[in-house]
A = this chain, B = another copy of it.
Amino acid sequence: MADYVGPLHSWLIKNGLGESVNHTLVVSISLFVTLICACIVLGHLLEEVKWASESIVSLILGVGTGFIVLIISGGKNSHILQFNEELFFIYLLPPIIFNAGFQVKKKHFFRNFASIMLYGAAGVFISFVIISFGCRYIFPHLGLNLAPRSYLALGTIFSATDTVCTLQVLSQDETPLLYSLVFGEGVVNDATSVVLFRTIQKLGTASINGLTALGMFADFIYLFLSSTVLGVAAGLLSAYIIKTLYFGRHSTDREIAIMTLMAYLSYMIAELFYLSGILTVFFCGIVMSHYTWHNVTESSRITTKHTFATMSFIAETFIFLYVGMDALDLEKWRLADKRQSFSIFGVVIALVLVSRAAFVFPLSAVANFFTRSEAGKITIRQQVIIWWAGLIRGAVSIALAFNEASLTIFTRSGSTIFPDNATLITSTIIAVLFSTVVFGMITKPLIGWLLPPHMRRPAVDSEPSSPKEANIDHTVDGNLELPLLTERLQNLRNGVARRSSLRMLLEAPTSTIHRMWRSFDDAYMRPMFGGRGFVPILPGSPGSS
């Protein structure tokens, strides 16, 4: 924050004007807010059109505006359009990932947890190795020689898929298995890529051998576990605070503030300790929707559900506008070797296609091998969709590319001055634009073709406890919840008495773990942190402010 003062004051002095605010900032904010409004209205109007998603509209509008701004400024000034990784990682990414965790159907997510981890962690490693080696052997033929470390960085940059655009195409209700797999993979993938990227940056110029690879792996496991624990802890703390403090005296506005701020705080604290904020805030969202959300007033529930969704929606639109505008940053294009940029882009897209196929199909076979029920297996059509839906590269790739460019070579005020870095960034931008627009447009029709409505398995259980499902009509009713609770406790007692847990675990691992978790949840967690059916109904609780 302190950094703002410098430029503002120098600007004020330079202009000798009595403005209370930085006028350049006012202009760019006004422009951006107007564009976001336009995207929302256009997105609503184009909702019926098959190929158009809100992200594609935003990208196109962003490119268009960038073009107009360039013409107005005579092609000179493109400084307002600069992509800013700080803005992206600190303000735009957290609401998107948090909302994803908050709205996800927990049952589906945890049922497919093993497959998701396979794709999201093991898959990224496979993809990273293939892209890194591919670039290492092909780039010198195109006249681009990079340091060994840079190839590894390229591997992570192009292994990060974009969840935002994919989520707009897949439907949680129509294709629950696919949605949870693609979405879950997207989140774990983002986290893995960022963690991998940081590990590589720590390497510096050191060469890679078996020992460093093992160290990287240990680092990854540590980051994954600690980030998850932090997220869960933050979520449980918020549930505990609201349950304890607000007992008998609710305050809707304070509840909403506490939930929003503690979710954001979990992300910032993860970043503070160099963990993965993405993973932390995702798990914080899951825990908050399972416990905290049930401890607040009915008004708070409706408000948080829609506020988080809206914040995520605005952040997504912002990012795509931003990327679209940045694509026309002339300074970068002038420095970059255009022919080289396009051939690099071609190589990268080919490597992305191959490397993703190289892990989706083998890992799906592995996942199917361990799944007993026929219904839980991933069909070949679904595998094709998983492969295709994860091809899109987004803002995470661009943010990592900028970060890499800013570190390898000295840059002046954010713009790359070394041609190789400019080429790296421009080719990343073309890859992102191409994959979002072309792959993104094809995804929806592809799903329609591969999975016609009659082949889609409907969701077996609608899980009304998730914020995604709740609406006004669903008021929490203590009498309605009690039978459910008694039934569960009964099941637990019978189950334990009848069969040994160990044999059950061996026979049907996921469902047994799920059942054990539920009994633990009912016996220890819910009484302490609240949750559906465990919060007494307060007189005047719904609607009080």
Counting chain B CB atoms within 10 Å of each CB, the highest count among A20, A44, A256 belongs to: A20
Check A29 for interface membership: any CB of B closer than 8 A: yes
Is there an interface contact between B12 and A7, defined as CB atoms closer than 8 Å?
A: no
Q: Give the distance in Å from the alpha carbon of A473 to the alpha carbon of B258 in the complex.
A: 25
Question: Quick one: CB contact mask for A179-208 with B, threshold 8 Å, 1 for yes?
Answer: 000000000000000100110111000000
Q: Give the distance in Å from the alpha carbon of A300 to the alpha carbon of B310 in the complex.
A: 11
Check A479 for interface membership: any CB of B closer than 8 A: no
- Residues in A248-262 with C-beta less than 8 Å from chain B: 251-254, 256-258, 260-262
Is there an interface contact between A543 and B473, defined as CB atoms closer than 8 Å?
A: yes
Stretch of A82-90, A119-127, A287-295 contacting B (4+ beta carbons < 8 Å): A82-90
Q: Hey, which chain B residues are within 8 Å of A147, CB to CB?
A: none
Is there an interface contact between B13 and A3, defined as CB atoms closer than 8 Å?
A: no
Stretch of A406-414, A418-426, A447-455, A504-512 contacting B (4+ beta carbons < 8 Å): A406-414
Is there an interface contact between A472 and B246, defined as CB atoms closer than 8 Å?
A: no
Q: Give the distance in Å from the alpha carbon of A167 to the alpha carbon of B256 in the complex.
A: 20
Is there an interface contact between B18 and A82, defined as CB atoms closer than 8 Å?
A: no
Given known contacts A6-B414, A12-B407, A20 and B85 CB-to-CB distance under 8 angstroms: yes
Is there an interface contact between B30 and A268, defined as CB atoms closer than 8 Å?
A: yes
Is there an interface contact between B84 and A5, defined as CB atoms closer than 8 Å?
A: yes
Counting chain B CB atoms within 10 Å of each CB, the highest count among A36, A302, A306, A410 belongs to: A306
Is there an interface contact between A44 and B246, defined as CB atoms closer than 8 Å?
A: yes
Q: Give the distance in Å from the alpha carbon of A79 to the alpha carbon of B6 in the complex.
A: 11
A312, chain B: closest CB distance, angstroms = 9
Is there an interface contact between A253 and B303, defined as CB atoms closer than 8 Å?
A: no
A36, chain B: closest CB distance, angstroms = 6
A47, chain B: closest CB distance, angstroms = 8
Check A1 for interface membership: any CB of B closer than 8 A: yes
Is there an interface contact between A18 and B202, defined as CB atoms closer than 8 Å?
A: yes
Q: Hey, which chain B residues are within 8 Å of A261, CB to CB?
A: 33, 36-37, 40, 314
Check A25 for interface membership: any CB of B closer than 8 A: yes
Q: Hey, which chain B residues are within 8 Å of A23, CB to CB?
A: 272
A84, chain B: closest CB distance, angstroms = 6
Is there an interface contact between B257 and A314, defined as CB atoms closer than 8 Å?
A: yes
- Residues in A1-42 with C-beta less than 8 Å from chain B: 1-9, 12-13, 17-30, 33-34, 36-37, 40-41
Q: Hey, which chain B residues are within 8 Å of A130, CB to CB?
A: none
Check A162 for interface membership: any CB of B closer than 8 A: no
Check A269 for interface membership: any CB of B closer than 8 A: yes
Is there an interface contact between B406 and A84, defined as CB atoms closer than 8 Å?
A: no
A387, chain B: closest CB distance, angstroms = 28
Is there an interface contact between A253 and B8, defined as CB atoms closer than 8 Å?
A: no
Q: Hey, which chain B residues are within 8 Å of A265, CB to CB?
A: 30, 33-34, 37
Given known contacts A5-B414, A37-B258, A302-B302, A403 and B20 CB-to-CB distance under 8 angstroms: yes
Check A542 for interface membership: any CB of B closer than 8 A: yes
Is there an interface contact between A306 and B253, defined as CB atoms closer than 8 Å?
A: yes
Is there an interface contact between B310 and A86, defined as CB atoms closer than 8 Å?
A: no
Q: Give the distance in Å from the alpha carbon of A254 to the alpha carbon of B314 in the complex.
A: 9
A314, chain B: closest CB distance, angstroms = 5
Given known contacts A5-B413, A29-B268, A257 and B90 CB-to-CB distance under 8 angstroms: no
A to B CB contacts below 8 Å, 16 in the list: A1-B84, A2-B414, A3-B4, A6-B7, A20-B194, A21-B90, A22-B86, A27-B272, A30-B269, A34-B265, A36-B257, A37-B262, A40-B254, A43-B254, A253-B310, A471-B542
What residues of chain A have their CB less than 8 Å away from a CB belonging to chain B?
A: 1-9, 12-13, 17-30, 33-34, 36-37, 40-41, 43-45, 79-80, 82, 84-87, 89-90, 194, 197-198, 200-202, 241, 245-246, 251-254, 256-258, 260-262, 264-265, 268-269, 271-272, 274, 298-300, 302-303, 305-307, 309-310, 313-314, 399-400, 403, 406-407, 410-411, 413-414, 471-473, 542-545
